[in-house]
A and B are shown apart, each in its own frame.
Chain A
């Protein structure tokens, strides 16, 4: 049984892999959008932080014997604190300047982080085993579902959902949304906006690090894993627009799904299909699918 003489199992396998990638796109573009909303900075270091997160998990296991589950908690905290340090020492000097300087500074930071990891760990990938509880696969009858991949999709989606709830349904989230609209006015009402900015940046970066830990058992842990991903995520952001959280999730998953399909039908185009879609969206709807700005 199959379509275009391609067995159903291959279709479903690639689609699942596409959804896994798509959930990473969703988590990363969500973090980018939250940071951009409040700081007006396109965080180029996001890919480096994702890589940093994966390395944290790998190093924790290699050096201290700390396993996957504790890493899932420790890594975002470590990377988040590192992000806050960057915001406090460097980024905060740029808020009065053109947005472009934020992109340039975070690009420089990404080069530094990537270069340091390359120097110490080389360019080759390091394998990281999935936790015992999630190894193996479940037979669903029509396909074999690898447990870990299912977990990644599930975990990423819950992460996005939690972020959405936090921003849309809590008091802190209300401050954040107000700060995105008009930071000065919110400060006048007695909210500590500089602190809010620092924490937001830390949280956005922690999201990227968490995605890195989730990715570690699937892709190998290598210093270059972030930089290629971040460019695709930029394209995802251009396609979806940074206006809405739900938009980021739908766009991320949708594009991952399409990428997975392309891998089956025409593998040569799988690395470019997202960029082609970006070009098409720019021609038809320049503001992006969920974008608000003209």
Chain B
């Protein structure tokens, strides 16, 4: 058996998401899951395909949630423009943060993004329009493009599926474009990419902005789905969570972050009311287990296993 083609994976993913409500999966939970899955995919664009570990991606999720929420609630934007505004806000923030952070490499890059995201957290905490500790409540779902009423959970669900698949597809296109190949070259050996004439910093900055924008799309969508934006979305715990989702699912694989996000969100939903603070401990243990035992993540290990099965089969021909 060969590794399944990306188109097949995409089709199965799309089909699964479309029939999920019919087989009894709760739409709100599935929509929340897709928001985090898109967030993790966007994060993976950096760590998996460019080799940059951002430890502050929560700032993009959180900022976009507040921007989109504020636009839809206070300014009365319709949902599509609201999402667009949230996404642009995060892209702009990504441009500022990215141009500072790419001045240092490796471990410093992680520390800088973490520190800047903590700064954004404090700004959001004190800003007049965010509602401080209470967050921004009562964001209306509105009427998409003026004629699709999103107040029905199922209608909203299909809208979210469409956006998620578009985001996933966009990341696939980016990774497999000539630009994506240059990003991989920078990940593997930055000095060599520079000596080949590529302005590595410009490519890295663009990857950072794209990742921030897609994270912003996920954050705006989350605000639309749940009807509120909270500070916890911008907290460093969330930055750690998205790292864990990607690591657990498989860094540098397309499907990995989706699998990782689904696993983590399911664990959190299933356990948080039973075990309380132990959820944090379980997250920590998962982190340690991933780093020590399986650094390729679930999808990476499965792909490896398929490949190993594949080799002797070919040899026998």
Contact = CB atoms under 8 A, between A and B. Distances in A.
Interface of A: 36, 42, 90, 93-94, 97, 99-101, 103-105, 107-116, 118-119, 227-228, 231-232, 234-235, 237-238, 268, 271-272, 275-276, 278-279, 282-283, 286-287
Contact of A111 (B53, B122, B280): B280
Contacts of B53: 100, 103
A170 to B, nearest CB: 28
Contact of B112 (A36, A107, A108, A278): A278
B110 A100 contact: yes
Nearest to A274: B115
B111 A237 contact: yes
A112 B108 CA distance: 24
Contacts of A93: 292
Given A118-B280, A235-B115, A282 B107 contact: no
Given A231-B236, A234-B111, A104 B287 contact: yes
> Helix, strand, loop or mixed for chain B's interface?
helix
B314 interface: no
Contacts of B107: 36, 42, 99-100, 103
22 contacts: A90-B288, A99-B107, A100-B53, A101-B291, A103-B55, A104-B290, A105-B288, A109-B288, A110-B284, A111-B287, A114-B280, A115-B280, A119-B277, A119-B281, A235-B111, A238-B104, A238-B108, A268-B126, A275-B115, A279-B100, A283-B103, A287-B104
Contact of A282 (B103, B283, B291): B103
Contacts of A97: 295
A94 B286 CA distance: 16
Contacts of B277: 115, 118-119
A222 to B, nearest CB: 13
A25 to B, nearest CB: 13
A115 B284 contact: yes
The 10 tightest CB contacts between A and B, nearest first, are A108-B287, A111-B284, A115-B280, A112-B284, A275-B119, A115-B281, A286-B103, A235-B115, A234-B111, A119-B277
B114 interface: yes
A231 B118 contact: yes
Given A105-B292, A108-B291, A283-B100, A278 B284 contact: no
Interface string B261-287: 000000000000000111111011111
B295 A108 contact: no
B171 interface: no
Interface in B277-317: 277-281, 283-288, 290-292, 295
Nearest to B280: A115
A35 B251 CA distance: 27
Given A112-B284, A112-B288, A275 B118 contact: yes
Given A111-B281, A118-B280, A282-B100, A90 B119 contact: no
Most buried by B among A99, A103, A111, A112: A111
Most buried by B among A105, A108, A237, A283: A108
A234 B115 contact: yes
A84 B276 CA distance: 30
Contact of B123 (A94, A235, A272): A272
A283 B244 CA distance: 31
B292 A112 contact: no
Nearest to B110: A103
A109 B112 contact: no
Contacts of A237: 111
Contact of A109 (B100, B111, B276, B284): B284
B114 A231 contact: yes
A271 B122 contact: yes
B144 interface: no
Nearest to A100: B53
